[in-house]
């Protein structure tokens, strides 16, 4: 900390200065520089001004910056309360002859106040810096959202945002969302294949059956998955494994039906509620799998509900289900794009550089139920 400058003003200033130097000579916590002048000057840079003449003090105090200077009155009458003290024109009083303990305690009090003032200045400086950084971050976020493509822009009643990061391991994720004929509802599929060959077969099969799904009048998630199972089970190799999640959102009753086999994760949050993970209906499909007897998971949607689908690779890259739930709750008030971007950022945090690839494919899908979905349902 810089040295404290004390200036004594008055006829006795020189004598007082010598005595104060002697009394404060053994202070080690901070430096003190003491000067003496017969009259006060506007150019004085002293931190503490000590006046002998109260009349001169009253003339000078109006020109002082009291935020950066302390004003003392030196008096030889310890029993009289100075008029300048009563009118709050001064910060403190020093009695002459000086007493060492009194002088040091009053100076130290000023030093403590000066430290707090410096802390306040630093806080203001940090606050300004944080505001500037926040503005820069907001700008970067807006630019990122503007540049991020949106695959699903015309889905009435839903706001959807998805991200995909290719992984280093063999195998692949696949996600798609499509409306059925007459816009009665929407179907979605999320799969993960343990090999690229299996992934190609699955995608070809999905393209084959997707058109049938979109034109059917009686949509059944279980039936559709059974169709995939019957076709794919014949081609699975000994080491192949397939995760399949299939869902259907009805605009008639706002119900979401889903069946999930394997490692895909589904997280759901009602309005103003925390996220929870929805259970899977069975393990992944392999060559020895038998078609299980399952009940479809059913959710009754309401406006502002949010559902998040993550592949196993994404959950692993974030750090597990617990960390995912914490992250989803933290970003619950953000829009779907920001929420998806936040999950993507946490996936990339675990990489050596932002340009590296995660270990496995990472699929991230966030969708909100729009408030308009009530009107849409009523129209149906």
Query: pLDDT by residue (tens digit) across 29-88?
Result: 778 888 888 887 776 788 888 888 888 888 777 777 666 788 888 888 888 888 888 888
Q: pLDDT value at position 210?
A: 67
Q: What is the CA radius of gyration of the chain?
A: 37
Task: Give 144 or 97, the one with higher predicted confidence.
Answer: 97
Predicted confidence (pLDDT) per residue in 257-279, tens digit: 999 999 999 999 998 899 999 99
The whole-number average pLDDT for the span 327-331 is 95
Q: What pLDDT score does 330 carry?
A: 94
20-24, 272-276, 371-375: range with lowest mean pLDDT = 371-375
pLDDT of amino acid 236:
86
Cα–Cα separations (whole angstroms), residue 357 to 102, 144, 263, 271, 353: 69, 20, 20, 34, 9
pLDDT at 379: 47
pTM over 0.75: no
Q: What is the DSSP string of 299-360?
A: EE--TT-EEEEE-HHHHHHHTSHHHHHHHHHHTTTS-HHHHHHHHHHHHHHTSSSTTS--SS
Q: How confident is the model at residue 243 (pLDDT cuts 50, 70, 90)?
A: very high
User: Is the pLDDT assigned to residue 380 strictly greater than 80?
Assistant: no
Give the residue from 114, 32, 112 showing the smallest Cα distance to 69.
114
Above 90 in pLDDT, residue 329? yes
For residue 194, is pLDDT > 50?
yes
Q: Which residue has the tokens 């430290």?
A: 115
Asked if pLDDT for residue 307 goes beyond 90, the answer is yes
User: What structural domains and CATH numbers belong to the chain?
Assistant: 4-120 (3.40.50.2300), 158-379 (3.60.40.10)
Higher pLDDT, 177 or 243: 243
More confident residue, 365 or 170: 365
> Contact at 8 Å (CB) between 56 and 14?
no
Quickly list DSSP for 63-130.
Answer: TS-TTT-EEEEEES-TTS--HHHHTT--SEEEESS--HHHHHHHHHHHHHHHHHHHHHHHHHHHHHHH
Sign of CA dihedral 318, 320, 326, 329: positive
Cα gap 371→315, rounded to integer Å: 29
For 190, residues 6+ apart whose C-beta sits below 8 A from its C-beta are 173, 174, 175, 244, 245, 264, 309, 311, 363, 365
Q: What is the mean pLDDT of residues 317-325?
A: 95
Is the pLDDT confidence value at 183 over 90?
no
pLDDT in tens, 121-159: 788 888 888 888 877 776 665 555 555 566 665 567 788
- Record the tokens describing residue 141, joined without a space: 């976020």
């Amino acid at each position: 900390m810089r040295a404290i400058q004390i200036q004594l003003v008055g006829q006795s200033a020189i004598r007082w200065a010598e005595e104060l130097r002697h009394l404060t000579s053994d202070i080690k916590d901070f430096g003190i520089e003491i000067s003496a002048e017969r009259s006060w000057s506007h150019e004085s840079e002293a931190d503490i001004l000590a006046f002998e003449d109260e009349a001169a003090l009253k003339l000078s105090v109006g020109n002082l910056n009291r935020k950066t200077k302390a004003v003392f009155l030196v008096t030889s009458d310890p029993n009289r309360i100075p008029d300048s003290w009563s009118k709050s024109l001064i910060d403190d009083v020093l009695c002459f002859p000086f007493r060492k303990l009194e002088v040091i305690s009053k100076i130290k009090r000023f030093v403590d106040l000066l430290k707090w003032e410096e802390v306040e200045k630093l806080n203001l400086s940090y606050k300004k810096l944080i505001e500037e950084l926040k503005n820069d971050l907001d700008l970067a976020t807006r630019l990122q959202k503007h540049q991020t493509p949106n695959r699903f822009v015309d889905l009435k009643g839903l706001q959807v945002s998805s991200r995909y990061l290719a992984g280093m391991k063999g195998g692949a994720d696949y996600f798609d969302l499509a409306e059925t004929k007459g816009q009665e509802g929407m179907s979605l599929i999320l799969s993960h294949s343990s090999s690229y060959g299996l992934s190609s077969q699955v995608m070809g099969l999905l393209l084959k059956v997707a058109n049938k799904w979109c034109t059917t009048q009686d949509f059944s998630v279980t039936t559709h998955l059974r169709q995939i199972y019957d076709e794919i089970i014949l081609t699975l190799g000994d080491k192949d494994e397939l995760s399949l999640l299939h869902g259907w959102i009805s605009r008639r009753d706002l119900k979401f039906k889903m069946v999930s086999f394997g490692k895909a994760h589904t997280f759901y949050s009602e309005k103003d509620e925390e996220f929870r993970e929805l259970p899977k209906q069975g393990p992944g499909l392999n060559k020895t799998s038998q078609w299980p007897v399952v009940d479809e998971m059913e959710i009754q949607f309401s406006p502002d509900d949010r559902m998040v689908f993550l592949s196993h690779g994404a959950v692993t890259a974030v750090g597990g289900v617990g960390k995912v739930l914490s992250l989803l709750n933290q970003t619950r008030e953000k829009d779907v794009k920001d929420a998806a971007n936040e999950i993507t950022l946490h996936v990339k945090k675990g990489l050596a550089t932002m340009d590296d690839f995660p270990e496995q494919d990472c699929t991230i899908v966030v969708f909100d139920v729009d408030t308009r979905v009530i009107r849409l349902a009523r129209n149906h």
